[in-house]
Amino acid sequence: MATSTGSSSSPSAVPPSVATFVPLPLPLPRYPAKFTSSLPCDELSALGHGDGDEPLPDDVLNTPRLVRNAVYSHVNPENQSKGASLLSWNKEIAEAIGISKNKLERTQWTDDEYDDLVKFLTGGGRRLPSAVKDDDKQPRLAEPWALCYGGHQFGYYAGQLGDGRAISLFETENRKTGESWELQIKGAGKTPYSRFADGYAVFRSSLREYLCAEAVAALGVASSRSLALLSTETVVIREEGGEPGSIVCRAAPSWVRFGNFEIFFYRKDRKNLRKLAEYVTDEVFKLPKDDPQEVAHFAEKFRKIDIAKPTEGPETVAAEETQQTTTSPSATAATEGAAEGAPVSEPQHKPLYRNRFANMFEQIAMRTAVMVSGWQSVGFCHGVINTDNMSVLGLTIDYGPYAFLDKYDPGYICNHSDSEGRYAFQQQPGICLWNLGKLALTLENLIGAQERVDDLTWMQEQEEDPEKEKHLKDSAQDIVIEIMNKSFRDVFLKDYRQRMNAKLGLGGPELVRNEDLTSILVPALSWMDDHEVDFHQFFRDLADYKVKGTESVDDNMTEVELFVKKLLSTTIWQARGSTAVEEAKTWMTAYHSRLAQSDELKDDQKRRSRMNKVNPAFVLRNWVAQKVIERATASMKKAESGNKEDDPDKDLLEKLLWMCQHPFGEDQVDGNVDAVEGDAACEVKRNDDGLEVYGEFIGPVPDWGEGLQCSCSS
């Protein structure tokens, strides 16, 4: 019988009714998966995964329950394949995960391949013939699983959460790029972590995630990706009544979250917490092991008796062997204070050893900083930045009640369940820092052990004695706080300034000036807020601002007035247009001066081209998503009823997917006109601006679409 330390059976020993056959055109699965073979499995679901074991029935495996001592549970997706169909297929990510170039397009599949793929992605894959092999004669088998994790939701620890409707199907590796991917289906039915939910997903939420993951990635922000969107005949009951069911197949290098660490921490399960940390350092980040010679050198130079009482290094210690740190009463207090903008104390010299777990935390902090910097620069509101929705890879995941800004409003709340505005747009960087503080708590012992972290006997002694364990946590403080300051704060500010510098047309990273933040960007954002200016249209229209050889704004007021008038609504222009123009001068004076100082920046045509490559013409706003949901739903109903009338929305999803992946307008289209025009689904047309490809989905926000919010329920 299998133990709870992970599935260790050989491929040939797994009963066919337990393993799932992975059909073509999907790439060769890694079997067994590194994740499931490296980490502890739910004991109940491990039954049936050993030699000669009888598998448990699905109604037992999928029963919601408390799961202990496990990172995951083996679980089979509910079979929703009857009447299911493939609504959209993303050939871009299909290529990235390693699908053969001869199978990237739906038109390249046989009827059997189409049917098998749909069955597999809707839970019917176990009925496929297991004798089929790919060219390498390796087994195309997988053992699906769901993650067990906890998390802080709206600021409070919520206990066990887990994948309540998402099931990971298999891991794969792109043989050309070496990139690893994990495919997961969402809306796949109940798992042990569904609690009181049904495990299903409605079409509207699946469509929103399918499109937005691609939109965010195309805007240069790290994200999970979307492979396929499928409809099912499942009727899903929600607040609005019965809704059509759907499944989205999504991909990421890893789905490990902050909450995976938290559940072990709050259960005081140090053994499995370490196992998970080892896996993330080794397999997710592929960090090197701590060098024994480096460890020995550090211990000899700085440790006299015990790590619990570190010696003070001399002030003359070389810079490379000491680290500047800031101190605070505790890591928790420091990070929570930092999130609220509290000052930190003066730095002092203390010898600290950064082991691989500290380096892992630093990687997570830097990636999180770049992710949230991207959110702020493209006007993206996540809506539910709970720790269980935070990827260790700094990926945007779990798209629920998200939104892109319309009018610039720093206090905008896109989730109508967020009554206190915890996850408002302007709060996002601070919340990410707060979440990192919660992750840091789970890693304090491993980080605080410094160079002795692999002395397991010593570690056990420290962790079994409350006073000694406190020394471990105290030793972690300075390292954690330094990472918060340098690897989050500094990285965030640097990345944000570079992104906004490009959006403003002020050149590449080498041209970023600190004063631009205070003299141009902050006043411009304040002006946008005061005059209800559309965030995205602001930058597109600013690209049209012409310097025309003038040296100052006073010499160019006609252009300034034209720029302001284009951005303001008719009502606001009539009521306070002259005031808005005068107030715009407060930041446009500095902006115009910056442009006029450089031959490169004052070239109006080149600057416009550069700006339009980073400022989207098409944005997946909430009103766009809502309109697509309504029309795509009507189109599906026509198809299901056998309506033979011509359906103008038959290819709507493919058009919107293309728009999400190509958001920048004429400059992007110009670079690939032939390929775009050859795609009949997009029906590309050209006008002077090259934006007709987006049709009705760009332009002013309609009255009914202003301020649309979504909830966490879907």
Q: Which residues are catalytic?
A: 388
Q: The dihedral of CA 102, 106, 108, 114: what is its sign? A: positive
3-state DSSP call for residue 541?
helix
- The burial of 251, by beta-carbon neighbours within 10 Å (0-12 exposed, 13-18 middle, 19 or more buried), is given as buried
Residue identified by tokens 């570079």 is 498
Instruction: Say how far apart CA 171 and CA 27 lie, in whole Å.
Output: 10
Bridge partners for 88 per DSSP: 229
Residue identified by tokens 């699906």 is 144
Please provide residue 610's backbone torsions phi and psi, each rounded to the nearest 5 degrees: -65, -45
Pair 353, 298: CB distance under 8 Å: yes
Closest C-alpha to 63, from 81, 49, 45, 80: 45
Instruction: Say how far apart CA 683 and CA 676 lie, in whole Å.
Output: 8
Instruction: Say how far apart CA 666 and CA 643 lie, in whole Å.
Output: 37
End-to-end Cα, the chain, rounded Å: 39
DSSP per residue over 624-686, as a string? HHHHHHHHHHHHHHHHHHT--S--TTTTHHHHHHHHHHSTTTHHHHHTTHHHHHT-TTT----
Instruction: Say how far apart CA 575 and CA 577 lie, in whole Å.
Output: 6
User: Containing H/E element for 245?
Assistant: strand 241-252
Instruction: Say how far apart CA 647 and CA 636 lie, in whole Å.
Output: 10
Residues whose CB falls within 8 Å of the CB of residue 3, separated by 6 or more in sequence, listed in order: 46
In whole angstroms, how far apart are CA 81 and each of 44, 279, 578, 582, 692? 26, 34, 62, 62, 38
Pair 311, 304: CB distance under 8 Å: yes
Closest C-alpha to 389, from 559, 258, 529, 239: 258
Pair 298, 451: CB distance under 8 Å: yes
Closest C-alpha to 146, from 114, 184, 196, 94: 184
Upstream peptide bond of 314 is cis (omega within 30 degrees of 0): no
Pair 339, 433: CB distance under 8 Å: yes
Packed helices 258-266 and 428-448: angle between N→C axes, nearest 10 degrees: 50
DSSP 705: G
Please provide residue 612's backbone torsions phi and psi, each rounded to the nearest 5 degrees: -75, -10
Residues whose CB falls within 8 Å of the CB of residue 50, separated by 6 or more in sequence, listed in order: 1, 2, 8, 9, 13
DSSP 41: B
Q: The dihedral of CA 654, 658, 660, 666: what is its sign? A: negative
3-state DSSP call for residue 138?
coil
